[in-house]
Structure formats: structure tokens, C-alpha cells
Amino acid sequence: MNKKTMISMAVIRRLPKYQRYLGELLNNDITRISSKELSERIGFTASQIRQDLNCFGDFGQQGYGYNVRELYDEISKILGLTRTYTTVIIGAGNIGQAVANYSKFEKLGFELKGIFDKNPKLIGIKIRDIEVKDVDELSDFLERNKIDIGIICVPRTQAQVIADIFVKSGIKAIWNFAPTDLNVPEDVIVENVHLSESLLTLSYRLNEAKLFGEE
């Protein structure tokens, strides 16, 4: 079996962190780094790093460390960052505007092509030079424009409606901010972003010691 097909989700979830740290090393003109040094910067153990990076090639040379550029390029390739992606945001409220205003996504290759809402007060306003359109025009827009990723920032009760429009128009990847599980066909990927889950994990960890009587 191809090595890449065996990469686990746990490793994939760590790749963006490797990519970010390796990018910083390159910016600082660091061309080689040992797994021990990388471990000190990134916070994973050296053996975890060796194990992770072994999943997709032989980058480390015993005694020489990793070639930072090679590793950065390979991880970028695995993360699909060697091409650009077109996106639309549905829901131009708090979250929708925050996502739209974050220019770093564009630098990573995610190009925002349209923002849609149903509120007449928002339709027509501009967010980073993109005019918010009426959601009634969404299906037409998706027919005329090739969109790779649909971003859902509407209330929970409306999320499935929007997901259905995405699916019908052939979108294969959905970034879902609404706190609900979407029903989509198997060939459509959904990545949920739930800040509250992260916050609850934090509160659990804050109370972990008490729970297990370690205080």
C-alpha cells in the first residue's frame, strides 16, 4: 500500500502545526533541524516527530537532522497547499464576517469568491471588496462559478438547508461553523469547527486535577 494512504487522522491533524513551525524556521533561514530541536520548539516528543514524519518519506538523516525546506514542501503538498481553492461563505453575521475578514486564508490559497445572506440589511454591503449577495441567488452563482469549499455560518436551524444547496451544486467540501451535524452523501467532506467544544475541553482540563483527586 502507498505510504500516504496509511497516514492516520491523528497525524494529519498535527501536520498544520509542523507546516507552521517549519515555515517559521525557513523565515529565519534555518535549513536543518534535528528532531530533538524541533521537539523543543513544537512541543511534541522527538520520537513522536520521527514517527509522524516517517509516514511520508525519509527526510531525516541520522546525525544531520531534517532538511527544513524539503519537509516544508512535502507537508504543504500533503496538505494540498500547492494549489488554490475557491470558497463561498453563507451567513454574513459575526462568524461569517470574521472568517471573511481573515486575510491569512487567502495567503494559504483559499480564495473567497462570494458571501451570501438573507438579511436585507446585509445584502449589498461590502466585506473586503466582496458584496454580500442575496442567498436566493446562491444556486445560480454556484452553477456559474466553480466553488471548491462551502463555508456555513448561518444559525443551526438553517445549516442543513445550505448544505443541501451545496451538495446539489456539486460542492465536495464543507467547512461548517453551525453547531449541528450535517447529513451529506459519502463523497462530501465536512469539517466542523466548534469553538465551544474547545472551550469545554479547556474547562475539563481546568477541573481535571479536582476530578481525579490530585489537589
Residues at the site binding ligand NAI, with contacts judged by CB under 6 A = 90-96, 116-119, 122, 135, 153-156, 158, 161, 177-179, 193-196
Q: Toward ligand NAI, which CB reaches closer, 52 or 117?
A: 117
CB 157 to ligand NAI: min, Å: 8
Q: Toward ligand NAI, which CB reaches closer, 42 or 171?
A: 171
Residue 167 to residue 169: CA distance in whole angstroms: 5
C-beta separation of 153 from 90 below 8 A: yes
CB 10 to ligand NAI: min, Å: 22
To the question of whether residue 165 is assigned a binding role by annotation, the answer is no
Q: Toward ligand NAI, which CB reaches closer, 44 or 177?
A: 177
CB 109 to ligand NAI: min, Å: 22
To the question of whether residue 209 is assigned a binding role by annotation, the answer is no
To the question of whether residue 96 is assigned a binding role by annotation, the answer is yes
Q: Toward ligand NAI, which CB reaches closer, 67 or 180?
A: 180
H or E segment and range at residue 155: none
Residue 188 to residue 203: CA distance in whole angstroms: 33
CB 20 to ligand NAI: min, Å: 21
DSSP calls for 69-115: HHHHHHHHHHTTTTS-EEEEEE--SHHHHHHHH-THHHHHTEEEEEE
Q: Toward ligand NAI, which CB reaches closer, 96 or 114?
A: 96
CB 97 to ligand NAI: min, Å: 8
DSSP calls for 37-48: HHHHHH-S-HHH
Residue 122 to residue 73: CA distance in whole angstroms: 40
H or E segment and range at residue 4: none
Q: Toward ligand NAI, which CB reaches closer, 35 or 97?
A: 97
To the question of whether residue 23 is assigned a binding role by annotation, the answer is no
Q: Beta strands of the chain (E only): which ranges?
A: 32-33, 60-61, 65-67, 85-90, 110-117, 126-127, 130-134, 149-152, 173-176, 189-192
Tell me the residue nearest to ligand NAI as measured from the CB. 93
To the question of whether residue 94 is assigned a binding role by annotation, the answer is yes
CB 154 to ligand NAI: min, Å: 4
Here the cell at position 95 is 462568524
Here the cell at position 160 is 442543513
Binding residues: 91-96
Q: Which residues are annotated as a binding site for NAD(+)?
A: 91-96
